[in-house]
A and B are shown apart, each in its own frame.
Chain A
Amino acid sequence: METIRIVVHLHTIAQKWSEEGRIDKINLEVKDGCTISELIKQLDIPLKWEDILVVVDQKTVSGDYQPQDRDEIHIIPAISGG
């Protein structure tokens, strides 16, 4: 099966922690054709879909979006403003 390489950027409470410290970026190899929804599930993001914004190339994408090779994907727990 074909795979692609992507970079996932985790924001605020979607970030994870390891013994080495805060994890805000993950380099992943995923199967070609996987969707953002599947990716979110795989990463065990502790938020409902409606509470997350997923941004690729400065644009919001839907759960059906299929990442392309070398995509930089931002998983952003949504907030209203600052």
Chain B
Amino acid sequence: MQVWRVNTRQKNDTIEACPQSWERLGGRGLVARILLDEVKPDCDALGKYNKLILAPGLLVGHKLSSCDRISFGGKSPLTGGVKEANAGGITALNLVSLGIKALILEDLPEDDKWFILHISKSGVRFESADDLIGLGVYQSTEILLNRYGKHVSLALIGPCGERQYLAAGIMNLDKDQNPSRIAARGGLGALMGSKKIKAMVIDAQQGEKPPILDAERYKQAQKTFTQALKDHPQTKIYHDYGTNAMPGMSDGFGGMPTRNFSAGHFEGLEKIRGETMREMLIERDGEGKPSHACMPGCIIQCSNVYADENGKTIVSPLEYETVGLLGANLGIDDLDTIARLNWECNDLGLDTIDTGAALGVAAEAGLLKFGDGKRALELIHEIRQNTILGRVLGNGAAIAGKVLGVTHVPVVKGQAMSAYEPRAIKGTGVTYATSPQGADHTAGLTIRAKVNHLDPSIQANISRNAQINMAGYDSLGACIFAGNGFASAPQTIKELITARYGWEVSDNFLEVLGKETIRLEKEFNRRAGFTSAHDRIPEWMTREPLPPNQSVFDVPERDLDNIFEDLIQKDE
């Protein structure tokens, strides 16, 4: 496997062998290693010393169910710290088919010309993107697929990435050429925009599957893993209801962020929950699908295609976090409206979580009446039109709070919380506080644990384990839900890795990967100037009780400070 470097100032590329110290890392772990090795932690995140890294996970390449995810990374323009955001779709599969272990975009152009990067077996080609600038993600995708063919994969930004909005992400094609899979968090779309790259077109037609050293052993491990995943009860739930199976559960614990995180129960729950959505999609028929795979070979198929009452697609997919942040968090109980807001965010290339949180803050500032979907769409149009208000909102909840004079801002390290209230699901609150990534549910959710989520004394351990596991899965390129298969058949991780690469790895390879990843990330943040003061939930959440539990976030600060104490080892 190789490391491909693209210099965005000189407009050239180099191909190198993978350094030995990077070999056994992939995805999120590799992003952290490269950042620590090559990026000045105190650099300007939108300046010439930051790098945009694409790193497929270690298991990517063989359509193992739900294990072909791509990690994007860099110093976060939003948090100022380490950032990895991963996505499904086909980007990782194509990069690995070209033999790419990591693709690193470096430096900064000296002029304002925009480019497309065409990446194939012949190398990297810079092509003008003049005709795409200002266009939305959907139209850009159509043009790019017509130009380069339906076989390519794309990673592209929308107008918000071009404008370097801090809530901008990077969109990726799913297996059906829909640009729906976003590496959403932390403003990596802005980082790509700073390098004046509108899109990466990855043509793997001349590529090939990566080698497997012991095909028989791999096949056996794949079979065991696939069966374990198929048999896991969560697989059926995600298949039938998608991630939107979650509202009933989070609301059941009083943890559904409602009206700018002011309540944990949403009165409109029944209208937005997955059970209702599934029934609606089946009744509406047409283009809508309650189940859909974003990656080839995925047996879970938690994605969906959301169609209107005439059976015409509004957006694909409609996910829980979006329903939470652009729905309950705004007091909106109409799935069609939420889906339209979602489409607008996708087209603009925006993270729906930070955008939903920013709109919640705007509502508290009086710019939107909670529940007013029409006005929410108008505010998204402000973002599209690049008005001053639009710029405020498109830069995420933290900036919106500062400009609009709102103190109830649900962020950690400047990044908005996902759809789990930390005062009700306190373990996830610990994750928000202590993850080097900033507030991010994918860094370690704890809602599944059969514990009292309100007991502050037990949450740090639960969060720690979840964070280590997730950092491991993110490094393997495994979807969080593939973790159910691996949890039932944990030996298959070692078996798959050993069969594919010939490495002798320990039985607890997932934990080893996860710990190493977090250690590297913490070290990058330390050098960037982060201290324990950054590992805190907003103060108002420690004082203001959340109905209906009337709970505050009261996990002791020493638990937050000590959570990864054993991992800290300076890496000079």
Chain A: residues with CB nearer than 8 A to chain B?
9, 11-13, 15, 22, 24, 47-48, 51, 53, 55, 58-60, 74, 76-82
Report the separation of the CA atoms of residues A68 and B534 in the bound assembly, to the nearest whole angstrom: 44
Q: Contact at A81–B448, with CB atoms within 8 Å?
A: yes
Q: Contact at B237–A77, with CB atoms within 8 Å?
A: yes
Listed by A's residue number, 25 A-B pairs whose Cβ atoms lie within 8 Å are A12-B241, A12-B245, A13-B233, A22-B275, A22-B279, A51-B233, A53-B448, A58-B253, A58-B264, A59-B453, A59-B454, A76-B249, A78-B448, A79-B245, A80-B445, A80-B447, A80-B483, A81-B246, A82-B243, A82-B246, A82-B250, A82-B319, A82-B320, A82-B321, A82-B441
Q: Contact at B248–A12, with CB atoms within 8 Å?
A: yes
Residue-wise interface mask of B (225-260) relative to A, using a CB-CB cutoff of 8 A (1 in contact, 0 not): 000000001101110110111101110111000000
- Shortest distance between the CB of A70 and any CB in chain B (Å): 16
Report the separation of the CA atoms of residues A37 and B275 in the bound assembly, to the nearest whole angstrom: 24
Q: Contact at B319–A60, with CB atoms within 8 Å?
A: no
Q: Contact at A12–B274, with CB atoms within 8 Å?
A: yes
Residues of B within 8 A of A82 (CB): 243-246, 250, 319-321, 324, 419, 441
The B interface, classified by DSSP as helix, strand, loop or mixed, is helix
* For the complex of A and B, 9 pairs with smallest distance between CB atoms: A82-B320, A82-B243, A82-B246, A81-B445, A58-B254, A11-B248, A80-B448, A55-B252, A74-B252
B450 at the interface (CB under 8 A from A): yes
Residues of A within 8 A of B264 (CB): 58
Report the separation of the CA atoms of residues A60 and B454 in the bound assembly, to the nearest whole angstrom: 10
Closest B residue by C-beta to A50: B450
Residues of A within 8 A of B237 (CB): 12-13, 77, 79
- Shortest distance between the CB of A12 and any CB in chain B (Å): 5
Q: Contact at B452–A77, with CB atoms within 8 Å?
A: no
B451 at the interface (CB under 8 A from A): yes
Chain B: residues with CB nearer than 8 A to chain A?
233-234, 236-238, 240-241, 243-246, 248-250, 252-254, 264, 274-275, 279, 319-321, 324, 419, 424, 441-442, 445, 447-448, 450-454, 480-481, 483-484, 548-549
Report the separation of the CA atoms of residues A24 and B548 in the bound assembly, to the nearest whole angstrom: 22
In the complex, which of the residues A15, A48, A55 contacts B275, with contact meaning CB atoms closer than 8 Å?
Answer: A15
Report the separation of the CA atoms of residues A69 and B452 in the bound assembly, to the nearest whole angstrom: 22
Closest A residue by C-beta to B241: A12
Residues of B within 8 A of A74 (CB): 248, 252
Residues of B within 8 A of A24 (CB): 275
Report the separation of the CA atoms of residues A21 and B233 in the bound assembly, to the nearest whole angstrom: 23
Residues of A within 8 A of B319 (CB): 82
Most central of B240, B253, B254, B264 by chain A CB within 10 Å: B253
Residues of A within 8 A of B236 (CB): 13
Closest A residue by C-beta to B319: A82
- Shortest distance between the CB of B243 and any CB in chain A (Å): 4
Report the separation of the CA atoms of residues A55 and B191 in the bound assembly, to the nearest whole angstrom: 43
Q: Contact at A77–B424, with CB atoms within 8 Å?
A: no
Report the separation of the CA atoms of residues A74 and B273 in the bound assembly, to the nearest whole angstrom: 15
Closest B residue by C-beta to A21: B279
Report the separation of the CA atoms of residues A53 and B234 in the bound assembly, to the nearest whole angstrom: 12
- Shortest distance between the CB of A10 and any CB in chain B (Å): 9
Q: Contact at A78–B234, with CB atoms within 8 Å?
A: yes
Most central of A22, A47, A74, A79 by chain B CB within 10 Å: A79
